[in-house]
Amino acid sequence: MAVAPNFIDQDNAIGYNTLSDAVSIIRAAGGVATPNRYEVVLHPPVIGMGGTQSTDPLFPLINTETSNTETADMGLKCESIVLPGRNLNTTDDATIYGPLRTVVDGAAFDDAIEMTFNASPDMRERIFFEKWQHAAFDQTTWNVNFYWDYVGSVDIYILEKETKQEKRMYGLKLFECFPKTITASPLSYATQNEAIKITVSMNFRYWKNLDLNMGGAEVPIELPNSMGLGY
C-alpha cells in the first residue's frame, strides 16, 4: 500500500495552479501582452554637445532639420524591434564549504538591438540614420567626433491590447545609443510590390525601466568635468 506524502504545508495540500485559475488570472489582467502592440520613440543626439566643430556639411543637419514630427514618424515606421535583455554577471563563492554558491558581481546588457523600418519613396528613414552616423565622424577629414556628439536614446513601449486609448503598459529607455550599422538593402528587378526595408543595428550602453514605481525617473547623464556640459 502506498504511503501518502506528508508535506510541510499540509493545510494547503490541494493544488491551486489549475487551468481554470490560470484562465481567470489572465482574464483579470486584461489578457496577454502581444508583440504587435508597441511604440518606438527616437531621441537623436544634440549636435555639438561634446564640443566638436566639424567641417562635414552633414554634421549639423540632424540637429537643425530633425523635428519632433520627423522622429515621431520614424517611430511609426519601425516594423520590428526587440526588447533588450539583461544579464547578471556571476562568480562562484569559494569561501564556503559544501555546494558552491553563485553570487552576483555585476550586470551586463546587450550591446545592440536591431530595428527594421519600412522605407518611404524618398528613403527618408535611411537618410535619418545616415545623418545620425555623420554626428560620429567627419566625412571630410575622417576625424572621429566626441562621444557625446553622437549618442542619443530610444524609448520602447508596450501598448495596451484592444483599446482605443493606446495606453502605455510598459516602457524602457535605451541610453547612449547610436546607429552602429545600417544594413545593406537588397535591390532586384525580380521583386515586385515589396517595400524596401531599412535595418539598423542600434548600439547602446544600458537600459532602464521608465516606470517611476520601478525607480525609472530619468537621471541626466553627467559628462566629464572637462567639458562642463550636461546631457
Q: What residues in the chain have per-residue pLDDT under 70?
A: 9-17, 22, 26, 28-30, 47-68, 162-164, 215-231
Domain assignment present for residue 51? The answer is: yes
The answer to whether residue 13 sits within a structural domain is no
pLDDT at residue 126, rounded to an integer: 95
- Indicate whether 231 belongs to any domain: no
Q: For the CA atoms of 134, 66, 176, 136, what is the dihedral angle to 10 degrees? A: 10
Amino acid 142: pLDDT? 92
Q: 3-state DSSP call for residue 194?
A: coil
Q: Give the residue ranges of DSSP H helices in 97-154.
A: 124-134, 147-150
Task: Read off the DSSP letter of residue 212.
Answer: G
Number of domains forming the structure of the chain = 1
Global pTM reads 0.78
Contact between residue 137 and residue 145 where contact means Cβ atoms under 8 Å apart = yes
Range of the domain at 74: 35-83+91-214
- Considering only CA atoms, which of 183, 174, 182 is closest in space to residue 136? 182
Tell me the CATH number at 67.
Answer: 2.30.110
Asked if the structure places residue 158 within a domain, the reply is: yes
In a domain, 227, yes or no: no
Task: Determine the pLDDT at residue 96.
Answer: 87
**Residue 9 covered by a domain:** no
Antiparallel, parallel or unpaired: β 197-203 and 38-43: unpaired
Residue 33 pLDDT = 80
Strand-pair partners of 156: 40, 172
pLDDT at 223: 45
Give the pLDDT confidence score for residue 109 in this predicted structure.
Answer: 94
204 inside domain: yes
The predicted pLDDT at position 164 comes to 67
**Mean of all residue pLDDT scores within the chain:** 81
